[in-house]
Amino acid sequence: MSSVNVLPLAIVMVAGPQILSSFFFATSERWKATSAAYVLGAILSISLVVTIAFLVIDGPVRQSTSSNTLDYVIVALLVVAMLNTYRTRNTAEPPKWMGKLTTATPRFSFRLGFLLLGVFPTDIITSVSVGAYLSTQNSPLTDAIPFILVTALLLALPALAVLALGKRAEERLPGIRDWMNDNSWIVNEAVLLLFIVIVLT
């Protein structure tokens, strides 16, 4: 059940420059290599952060802190993520550096995936919350695997669309990208609020 509870947070992980980068990579000349490298970098960084959070909470922190206190800490982290999402909601245009992603190398896209999904404020808070939540629920670390895989799948969707639909996908992806850039923060807030309710009940 814990693994199912954290799945919605995969949406929070990709909303913003993370999924927008996927769209740019999917429309680049070397879209297969750059998209695959980007997703691989993301998987590694998410796995690392979730594992560290899980082990820290499961070890010294749980020995000196009550379960209720840990729940409140998780909720506090999620509230910070909600505030950050709201604060950055009016970024109507993608950052200018994203325009360069269409000519990026696989090595660069791997590093970007690792950094965006590993150290981006909302993402690191979300990954830490997932690891901490699984620990407080006495769930095994392996329960994080579905969360990581769903996040990876969401990041890969633009490339998978190009693979399946070819030119039709390339024509439609920019419009989808712009819509997500304008509206993803609303979905983010709803998912974070849902997880807060899950933690407190």
How far are the Cα atoms of 88, 96, 120 from residue 23, in angstroms, in the given order? 20, 14, 18
pLDDT digits (tens, 9 = 90+) for 68-116: 777 788 888 888 888 877 777 665 455 666 667 778 899 999 999 999 8
Check residues 152 and 172 and name the one with the higher pLDDT.
Answer: 152
pLDDT of residue 81: 82
Is the full-model pTM beyond 0.75? yes
- Domain with 33 in it: 2-200
pLDDT digits (tens, 9 = 90+) for 26-70: 888 888 999 999 999 999 999 999 999 999 988 766 666 666 777
Give the count of domains, the chain: 1
How far are the Cα atoms of 2, 89, 160, 173 from residue 199, in angstroms, in the given order? 10, 25, 33, 35
